[in-house]
Amino acid sequence: MHADIQKGIRFGKQVFITIVSGFLVGMLSVYAATTISNNIVTGGTLDVTGVTTLTTMTSTQATSSTSFWIGSGGTATWLNLAGGDLFVQDDLQLGDRLTVGGTASSTALIVGGTATSTNLTIGERAAANATTTLTLGDLVAEAATCIKMRTTAGEWVYAYATSSSAMTAPGWGLRWTATSCE
């Protein structure tokens, strides 16, 4: 009788180990089934916890009614992060052209910085016989163009074009003043 009890205990252990093993294999199968090889289709939000192997965010067009924030830090000084604003934490390089447009009475391209020197460089390239043109002005002839610069004494000086493009001799065609021409 003692031997029968021993056999029953061994049989029970084997059944228990078989059930636990089957449960673990089932768990691994469920985990493996949640690994997606090619496409994800979701009607809601996709949350990824941990590391992802995504290499392309979108192959079509990304849109936002709020903003896009690229990077994990920084401060969006001149943006309100609404209506499709784009903030890039570190460097940004464009492969083609940058167009800054607006419909407000004043549209600005702001180049700011915290270094001792901040540069807006136009036309820096290694190309023989290249021409760089900085165009200031508007499509409407009556619209004025103003160049505003700070002197080393901390005062503002302004330059604006006079009435004729034919006045191109030195000192003609561009008038400097301490009064704002904005």
Please state, in angstroms and rounded to a whole number, the distance separating the CA atoms of residues 79 and 86: 8
**Residue 13 φ/ψ, nearest 5 degrees:** -60, -45
The model's pLDDT over 45-98, given as tens digits with 9 standing for 90+, comes to 777 787 777 777 666 777 788 888 888 888 888 788 888 888 888 888 887 777
Per-residue pLDDT band at 26 (split at 50, 70, 90)? low
Q: What is the mean pLDDT of the chain?
A: 74
Residue 121: is its pLDDT beyond 80? no
- Asked if residue 165 lies in contact with residue 173, where contact means CB atoms within 8 angstroms, the answer is yes
**pLDDT > 90: percent of the chain:** 2
**Residue 161 φ/ψ, nearest 5 degrees:** -75, 140
pLDDT at 114: 64
Residue with tokens 């290694």: 126
The structure's pTM equals: 0.42
Please tell me whether residue 174 adopts helix, strand or coil conformation.
Answer: strand
- Asked if residue 86 lies in contact with residue 68, where contact means CB atoms within 8 angstroms, the answer is yes
**What are the residue boundaries of the structural domains of the chain, listed by start?**
135-182
